[in-house]
Structure 1
Amino acid sequence: MNIIRRKFPYLIIGIFTLLLFGCSSGNQEDEKKMKHLYDISSSTENIEDHKIVVYQMMTRLFGNTTTNNIPWGTLKQNGVGKFDDINEAALKGIKDLGATHVWYTGVIEHAVITDYRKYGIRLDDADVVKGRAGSPYAIKDYYDVNPDLANNVNQRVEEFEALIKRTHDEGLKVIIDFVPNHVARSYYSDKKPKGVKDLGASDNLKKGFDPNNNFYYLPGKPFVVPEGYKPLGGAKFPLADGKFKEVPAKVSGNGAVTPNPTVNDWFETVRLNYGVNHISGNGEKVFDIDGDVPSTWKKTLEILTYWTEKGVDGFRCDMAEMVPVEYWGWMIPRIKKINPNIRFIAEVYNPKEYENYIFNGKFDYLYDKVGVYDTLRAVMEDREGSSLSHLTKVWKEMDGFNNHMLRFLENHDEQRIASKEFSNDPQLGIPGMAVSAALGSGPVMIYFGQEVGEPGKNVSGFSGDDGRTTIFDYWGVPEHQKWVNNHKYDGGQLSAEQRTLRKQYKDIIKASTESSAIRSGKLIDLQQFNRTNAKYNTDKVYSFIRFDESERVLVITNFSDQEMELDLIIPSIVIDAIGVSNLDEVKTKDLLSGQSVSISLDKAKESGSSISIAPYSAMYLTF
């Protein structure tokens, strides 16, 4: 059945091409060009249903207005954002930008250095915590939320439930993280529902691997803190003595089968066991999806059910490839029985596994990192040999599942566009966002602060100074704080340039989601027809057409710091395909600027249409 589903889009493409062009020309060159006309519509679901816009925020940073930013600073010194900071004004601002979903990153309780023992929460050992604020991907209790985020720690879960309701009241949906591959070394749930057993509570510690153990063990060997690790930057702390008692040692989160992980391992976490023998069986799968599945499958299903029933609308699944695809195909349909509209987004980086995780794993969306993101970034950084022409190959390789790819330019793992490590210029995000939002009919994501040019600079603590906004430290995000404007969320402190940048992002998101052609239409890549065009720079300019029965949108983007005077060739086979063969010229309107632009459609000469496009900009010309 899956083979048929995978091949079906290609069958449609072939039939479409044959019917449209089979009798129109015998020209062999045209036939070669026609092979690049593809219908990217999904064959599995309602196409429009895929065009969501995810706004990711690092929840503890989003509403923080403290500006001290002391490296390795405590919560008291550097402040922390709260659930309550994400008020009605904040949510209205996010929705105004065009978002449909908010990804609240770092909500589930993870290991932190702040002492909450008076609230009945165990103190974490600094020797297995990264940064004072801890990694949001070292989950400490899957049935609890981060106490840092609550005004009333004893009511922390209720405060998050109130945020879910506020988000829904503003017409937005809620996404949180699910980290299936690993948990904190100190995992213990003090909030688990009655009848639920902790991960590892029933494990056989004498076995390195057992399909019903939740963890992997190294029997008889104690865990050793990585040599040279200096928690808190060397500051004193009750539990910062270079020791952490764990006997037998568990396998680290990244799969390091050793009691002596290095500082470069995910030593603060331990890997979960889904019935795959990573100890001695060379990855042998020891489970029966039609029988009694492993304990970890059942326990994580309980966890996801818990949050789904609280009103969460989606899960971003961390490092999904490190968990067997059979698990996802078993689990996701069970959660969708509770909420058929819930979304599952996978962090997946291996293109060879894309179809597997979509069609067999049942994911709604996968990260498009190694395809569109990497191609755009190479061009934006002006790397040697980079070219926008590579995008044609990239999206062609995703035929049949293009709409299932989540596109982005920033997230918590990637460096900021405005950072010195990336482009050093936030304006370059505009053509990049225009391509990301319109190249497919699938979802797009924006990271908080991206829309105002946050550069992610300065040493924050464990995160260092690497062009990323820290996820490990208590910190303020300076340019984003100007938009927050003391929780008014009105951009009152932004510069004129920042206001313009945010409006450009807003215009792109609005146009890409409201245009029927972009939401659900077909794609024709124009790069191929302009490869030998002396008045078209295929390395720095990218153009394509999205069209349906009622609308055509010509997308042109300029990744150069120079204004481009183009002669854009739109050949007769394209003119025929989009249904305007009876016209010599069309009047278009740019959905982004509102300006009118005339486009020549001279079929006889097949000469270019003269178009001027500003540096680092984009045009969505509709007609």
Structure 2
Amino acid sequence: MRASELRKLVIYEVFPRNHTEEGTLKALAEDLERIKSLGVDFVWLMPIYPIGEEGKKGSLGSPYAIKDYRSINPELGTFEDFKKLVEKAHRLGLKVMIDIVYNHTSRDSKLLEEHPEWFYTVDGKPSRKVPDWSDVYDLDYSNRELWEYQIETLKFWAKYVDGFRCDVAPLVPLEFWEKAKKEVAKINPNILWMAETVYPSFVKWLRERGFRVHSDVEMHRVFEITYDYDGREMLERYLRGERSLLSYTDYLYVQDTLYPADYVKLRFLENHDLPRAAGIFRDELRLKNWTAFMFMLKGAMLIYAGQEYAIENQPSLFEKDPIPWEKGNEEFSSFVKKLIKIKKSIDCNDQRVYLAKEGIAVVECKNAVGIFNLEGKIGEIEIEVRGIDLLTGKKVESKDGKIEVPFEPVIIHL
């Protein structure tokens, strides 16, 4: 896919254990029609593999502490259930992406049992680079036999799915990803590769401790899409009151000049590692403006299941904690559906993002202009614009080069 097509993608993240009361792949399959009706392109399944017992967090453990890369967690169902889920998704016109967690395994993994020499060690014992990740041991990619095993695993899953979301991908050698991509293409040349790149502060922290970790710029050599954690770090500084909103919008310009011309960032307000957007932006108008603003930025867009209903509860990674769908906001869901439709209809491959005044962001694209009142401001902004608001269907036109700042987000088709 070309960058212009990738930037229109909307990816829907699902945590199978907590997506439904049953917490199974069969139950998830029953929700695929609703997910498809949102207008999304990909369903990304968080890890579906067996979870390790040793050192597990909580009563059920993290899905990122994987015991066996080549089988299905029996708590979720069977391999046949997985295949049926994928087949149904494909019939509906949805693509499926799975999580690839290659930096580490659980502390009682099949690989550790069979190949302890493939693991990173300290004083001769399996260990990890990040102390907080106490339920896993890191792999050591200086072992070429490990490369072969991991690539064969990818080729196995590539027969069924359409994309790989690669967990903390910069901690795995880029040379491995380059070879893996080349080899997987022999089985499925259309696999989409998405990297969970990391916060710049995390890159620096690891490098200061002597570990090799790749920058986002490097990761674009292999991956079509990388996480926008570099932008998120700037956004969080603003939300904490440490930086101005201008510092965040200015960083979007840095991304446009720092990365390759065909770069694609995964934009998001939330994911399984972050607080719910509805919990951060508790005012509904502010939530709507920030959501619409993020949708209009150049890049693919991520929705974490439940976000489309402005649900505040963030499911636990370690416990049975189903999404409280009954608390969902149907009006907000309709709003998100509109944003998805709009994202696919406008051309934002070349865009200018700026603050028309404090707290008011403007996104100018080839055939649309967005005005987003990110801080609930009152007053006028100077802008020449005339067109139809794609969110309401109403005509919008500036007078004498000015427009009254709306409280609701506005995306004007020119």
TM-score over 0.5 (shorter chain) = yes
Q: 1:587 to 1:401 in 2, by over 3 A?
A: closer
Equivalents in 2 of 1:339, 1:107: separation in Å?
A: 21
- Where 2:295 maps in the other structure, the secondary structure is helix
Equivalents in 2 of 1:349, 1:382: separation in Å?
A: 19
Q: Answer whether contact 1:403 1:443 (CA < 8 A) is retained.
A: no
Equivalents in 2 of 1:166, 1:472: separation in Å?
A: 28
The one-letter amino acid of 2:153's match is I
The residue correspondences of 1:86-485 to structure 2 (distance < 5 A) are 86-88=28-30, 90-111=31-52, 124-125=53-54, 128-150=55-77, 156-188=78-110, 198=111, 201-203=114-116, 213-218=117-122, 249-252=125-128, 255=129, 265-275=132-142, 294-309=144-159, 311-349=160-198, 353-359=215-221, 362-371=222-231, 373-379=232-238, 381=239, 383=241, 385-388=243-246, 390-399=248-257, 400-401=260-261, 403-419=263-279, 422-425=280-283, 427-440=285-298, 442-456=299-313, 468-478=314-324, 481-482=325-326
Kindly state the Cα deviation for residue 340 of structure 1 after the two structures are TM-superposed: 1.9
The one-letter amino acid of 2:136's match is T
- Where 2:99 maps in the other structure, the secondary structure is strand
Residues 245-275 of structure 1: per-residue CA shift (max 9 Å, x gap): xxx63113xx26xxxxxxx532221110101
Equivalents in 2 of 1:451, 1:325: separation in Å?
A: 34
Specify the alignment match of 1:83 in structure 2. Answer: 25
Kindly state the Cα deviation for residue 350 of structure 1 after the two structures are TM-superposed: 5.2
Kindly state the Cα deviation for residue 324 of structure 1 after the two structures are TM-superposed: 1.3
Task: Count residues with an aligned counterpart.
Answer: 399
The one-letter amino acid of 2:380's match is L
Q: 1:587 to 1:443 in 2, by over 3 A?
A: same
Q: 1:367 to 1:546 in 2, by over 3 A?
A: same
Residues 113-146 of structure 1: per-residue CA shift (max 9 Å, x gap): xxxxxxxxxxx34xx1111111111000111111
Q: 1:294 to 1:384 in 2, by over 3 A?
A: closer
1:502 aligns with 2:333: yes
Kindly state the Cα deviation for residue 401 of structure 1 after the two structures are TM-superposed: 4.6
Q: Answer whether contact 2:199 2:233 (CA < 8 A) is retained.
A: no
Specify the alignment match of 1:542 in structure 2. Answer: 361
Q: Answer whether contact 1:389 1:542 (CA < 8 A) is retained.
A: no
The structure whose Rg is larger is 1
Q: Answer whether contact 1:60 1:106 (CA < 8 A) is retained.
A: no
Kindly state the Cα deviation for residue 98 of structure 1 after the two structures are TM-superposed: 2.0
Q: Answer whether contact 2:11 2:41 (CA < 8 A) is retained.
A: yes
Kindly state the Cα deviation for residue 553 of structure 1 after the two structures are TM-superposed: 0.3
List gaps (5 residues or longer) in structure 1.
Answer: 1-43, 65-79, 112-123, 151-155, 189-197, 204-212, 220-247, 257-263, 276-292, 457-467, 483-492, 531-536, 571-585, 601-606
Kindly state the Cα deviation for residue 396 of structure 1 after the two structures are TM-superposed: 3.0
List gaps (5 residues or longer) in structure 2.
Answer: 201-213
- Where 2:11 maps in the other structure, the secondary structure is strand
Equivalents in 2 of 1:382, 1:187: separation in Å?
A: 39
The one-letter amino acid of 1:618's match is P
Equivalents in 1 of 2:219, 2:113: separation in Å?
A: 27
* % identical aligned pairs: 29
Kindly state the Cα deviation for residue 428 of structure 1 after the two structures are TM-superposed: 3.0
Task: Decide which of 391, 397, 411 is 1:598's aligned counterpart.
Answer: 397
Specify the alignment match of 1:73 in structure 2. Answer: none
Q: Answer whether contact 1:200 1:214 (CA < 8 A) is retained.
A: no
Q: Answer whether contact 2:196 2:227 (CA < 8 A) is retained.
A: yes
Equivalents in 1 of 2:285, 2:183: separation in Å?
A: 43
Equivalents in 2 of 1:427, 1:160: separation in Å?
A: 39
Equivalents in 2 of 1:444, 1:199: separation in Å?
A: 36
Q: Answer whether contact 1:588 1:599 (CA < 8 A) is retained.
A: no
Equivalents in 1 of 2:303, 2:184: separation in Å?
A: 26
Q: 1:449 to 1:141 in 2, by over 3 A?
A: same
TM-score by length of 2: 0.89
Specify the alignment match of 1:567 in structure 2. Answer: 381
Specify the alignment match of 1:558 in structure 2. Answer: 373
Equivalents in 1 of 2:310, 2:158: separation in Å?
A: 34
Equivalents in 2 of 1:613, 1:141: separation in Å?
A: 52
Q: Answer whether contact 2:18 2:320 (CA < 8 A) is retained.
A: yes
TM-score by length of 1: 0.60
Equivalents in 1 of 2:251, 2:10: separation in Å?
A: 25
Equivalents in 1 of 2:353, 2:251: separation in Å?
A: 10
Specify the alignment match of 2:2 in structure 1. Answer: 45
Equivalents in 2 of 1:411, 1:202: separation in Å?
A: 33
Equivalents in 2 of 1:100, 1:386: separation in Å?
A: 34
- Where 1:300 maps in the other structure, the secondary structure is helix
The one-letter amino acid of 1:102's match is V
- Where 2:151 maps in the other structure, the secondary structure is helix
Equivalents in 1 of 2:61, 2:229: separation in Å?
A: 25
RMSD: 2.4
Equivalents in 2 of 1:340, 1:390: separation in Å?
A: 36
Kindly state the Cα deviation for residue 426 of structure 1 after the two structures are TM-superposed: 5.2
Q: 1:54 to 1:103 in 2, by over 3 A?
A: same
- Where 1:341 maps in the other structure, the secondary structure is coil
Residues 558-589 of structure 1: per-residue CA shift (max 9 Å, x gap): 11235x3323235xxxxxxxxxxxxxxx6410
Equivalents in 1 of 2:376, 2:199: separation in Å?
A: 33
Residues 432-468 of structure 1: per-residue CA shift (max 9 Å, x gap): 222222221x211011111212222xxxxxxxxxxx4
Equivalents in 2 of 1:62, 1:294: separation in Å?
A: 38
Q: 1:265 to 1:374 in 2, by over 3 A?
A: closer
- Where 2:404 maps in the other structure, the secondary structure is strand
Equivalents in 1 of 2:354, 2:138: separation in Å?
A: 47
Q: Answer whether contact 1:388 1:541 (CA < 8 A) is retained.
A: no
Kindly state the Cα deviation for residue 429 of structure 1 after the two structures are TM-superposed: 3.0
Q: 1:590 to 1:569 in 2, by over 3 A?
A: closer
- Where 2:302 maps in the other structure, the secondary structure is strand
Kindly state the Cα deviation for residue 202 of structure 1 after the two structures are TM-superposed: 4.6
Specify the alignment match of 2:210 in structure 1. Answer: none
Q: Answer whether contact 1:56 1:103 (CA < 8 A) is retained.
A: yes
The one-letter amino acid of 2:370's match is V
